[in-house]
Amino acid sequence: MESQDIIFLSVIVLIALTYYAGLWRVFEKAGEQGWKAIIPVYNSITFLKIIGKKWHNVFILFIPGINIVFFFFGMLFELYRSFGKEKLGQQLLGIFFFFGYVAYLGFSPAEKYSGPATEIPKSKKSQMREWADAIVFAVIAATIIRWLLVEAFKIPTPSMERSLLMGDFLFVSKFHYGARTPQTPLQVPLTHQYWWWSQTSKSYSEWPQLPQYRLPGLSDIKNNDVVVFNWPEDNAHDPVDLKTNYIKRCVAIAGDSILVQRRKIYINGKLSETPGKVQFKYKVYCKEEIPKRILNKYEIPNYYRNDIPNSQGDFRIHYMPIDSAFTGKDTVKYFMGYYIDLSEEIAKELVAKGYADSLRIISGFDYPKQTTFPKTDRVYWTLDDYGPLWVPKKGATIQLTPANAAIYGETIFKYEELKNVDFRDNKVFLDGKEIKEYTFRKNYYFMMGDNRHSSYDSRFWGFVPENFVVGKALFIWFSSDQDPKKTFFESIRWSRIFQGIE
């Protein structure tokens, strides 16, 4: 165990001891036996009795998220009232430093238990105080729900089309894979990287940084889950939990071997199930312009035209179909061409209904050349033909050679959180000595966008470490095409609201 982990766990133990010691004395002041404070569930029933609540409210204890927001903190508010602490400053102190405040109430001779909070008349508050109480509670509740249960997320790019469109607003589950403990504690509530009115002023302090842990979740990450994660290549924000959020499909989990051949994905040698809305970039040839209403009908927001004539001065293009027989004629005089991201289903329909004369998928070599992962002269893969590549798994040991160190050395250097590690000349050095084998300390994942030719994903920048995973995409709660020429209600994609994510 790392020294920082030992320090963190020591702090947690100290907080727990302080809280339960204080609760023991609080129970005694309220006429209950102190030992009840350290018996799970029974201590909550006794707590409810002290503040004047019915014992059956204890069942709320078993509802994740709600138990902390409305049960634990709600009970603390009532406990403070039972000791006459109703001022806003007192209750704020009792929320953010609850362990110390409960200990103070228990051990201070000056603090007296006045009876169940439900029997104590509430002091009349000013309208400003009532608003302040409501706002503070709402912010605390929303912050905890956002951390522990679900967080709203907006699709900012077309990388997941057609499964997810730009302008979709999602709820992302934190409890599926388990919420992460906060790494950056000094952060403005309900912000991520910047203040709401600025894209340059950071809304957090990089100091202090806490060790990060993951709470138990409902499931592990599975193949083809749609996952939100912190983008590993975001160097503008050092804390992991403050890096830019990306959303992709997890096509390969830890321990898998992934191979892409002619756009088909194989996992551990078996053809992987292809999500029904996967898209590729097509070159579409037309005799006349595709009407805007047709593009809107098929929800095609991203395309560009290619109207450049050939050397003979016309638009005659010699075309040899590459992949599909449905794409039309070999030689046609065309008026114009488009580059469009399409699913195979919609591509066929455009030809069948006469909106396009012919089309073809752009192959990996037609697509503009970009450097893929790993960035080494030893390996050159394309978007359509990639791998085979093994995804690191926690506890697995590999022999490091110049060939695979070029693939895994950077991952070890960047994400394994080792001290005195270096990666150079396709060799990994630990404490100044070259190592010939390595056992991984984390699980990793390989992410790809469903818009396969327009997605900046693991094919470019590599693996996603398990501690970078934020949560699982659940469903779309709102969607807008964000067309500035439309009114708010005209821009709403009603058919996508409350749509699940497959």
Same domain for 295 and 217, yes or no, is no
Domain boundary among 378, 402, 428: 378
Query: Do 344 and 312 form a contact (C-beta atoms < 8 A)?
Result: no
CATH of the domain at 240: 2.10.109.10
Same domain for 124 and 164, yes or no, is no
User: Helices H, strands E: what count in the chain?
Assistant: 12, 23
Domain boundary among 354, 378, 402: 378
- Whether 216 is in a domain gets the answer yes
pLDDT at 326: 35
Q: Extract the tokens encoding 344.
A: 């195979």
Same domain for 194 and 289, yes or no, is no
Same domain for 196 and 109, yes or no, is no
Q: What is the 3-state secondary structure (H, E, C) of 351-417?
A: HHCCCCCEEEECCCCCCCCCCCCCCCCCCCCCCCCEEEEECCCCCCEEECCHHHHHHHHHHHHHHCC
> Tens digit of pLDDT per residue, the chain (502 long)?
456 557 656 877 898 899 999 999 999 999 999 999 999 889 999 999 999 999 888 888 777 556 666 677 788 888 999 999 988 788 878 877 888 999 999 999 999 999 998 888 877 777 777 777 767 777 777 787 788 888 999 998 889 998 999 899 999 999 899 999 889 988 888 888 998 888 888 988 888 888 888 988 889 999 999 999 999 999 988 899 999 999 999 999 999 999 999 899 999 999 998 887 899 988 888 877 788 888 888 888 666 666 544 443 333 333 323 333 334 443 344 446 778 889 888 988 988 888 888 788 876 655 555 578 988 776 778 889 999 999 999 999 999 998 899 899 999 999 999 989 999 988 999 999 999 999 999 999 999 999 998 899 999 999 999 999 999 999 999 999 877 888 888 889 999 998 989 8
pLDDT at 65: 56
Distance CA 177, CA 469 (A): 8
- Whether 398 is in a domain gets the answer no
Same domain for 161 and 237, yes or no, is yes
Same domain for 186 and 283, yes or no, is no
- Whether 384 is in a domain gets the answer no
CA–CA distances in Å: residue 332 to residues 288, 328, 358, 467: 13, 9, 9, 53
Query: Do 251 and 258 form a contact (C-beta atoms < 8 A)?
Result: yes
Same domain for 357 and 470, yes or no, is no
- Whether 104 is in a domain gets the answer yes
Same domain for 108 and 158, yes or no, is no
Same domain for 110 and 34, yes or no, is yes
pLDDT at 473: 95
Domain count, the chain: 3
- Whether 142 is in a domain gets the answer no
pLDDT at 329: 41
pLDDT at 188: 86
Domain boundary among 378, 399, 425: 378
Q: Rounded to 5 degrees, what are φ and ψ at 279?
A: -120, 155
Q: Residue 217: which domain range?
A: 149-250+446-502
Same domain for 157 and 116, yes or no, is no
Q: Where are the beta strands (DSSP E) in 162-279?
A: 168-173, 226-230, 245-252, 257-261, 264-267, 270-271
Same domain for 270 and 371, yes or no, is yes
pLDDT at 437: 95
Alpha helix stretches (DSSP H) within 424-501: 458-461, 488-491
pLDDT at 282: 87
Distance CA 97, CA 76 (A): 11
Same domain for 110 and 155, yes or no, is no
- Whether 200 is in a domain gets the answer yes
**Which residues have C-beta within 8 Å of that of residue 75, sequence separation ≥ 6?**
44, 47, 48, 51, 53
Which residue type, as a one-letter code, is found at position 476?
I
- Whether 326 is in a domain gets the answer yes
Query: Do 348 and 354 form a contact (C-beta atoms < 8 A)?
Result: no
- Whether 310 is in a domain gets the answer yes
Distance CA 251, CA 446 (A): 6
Q: Where are the beta strands (DSSP E) in 161-225?
A: 168-173
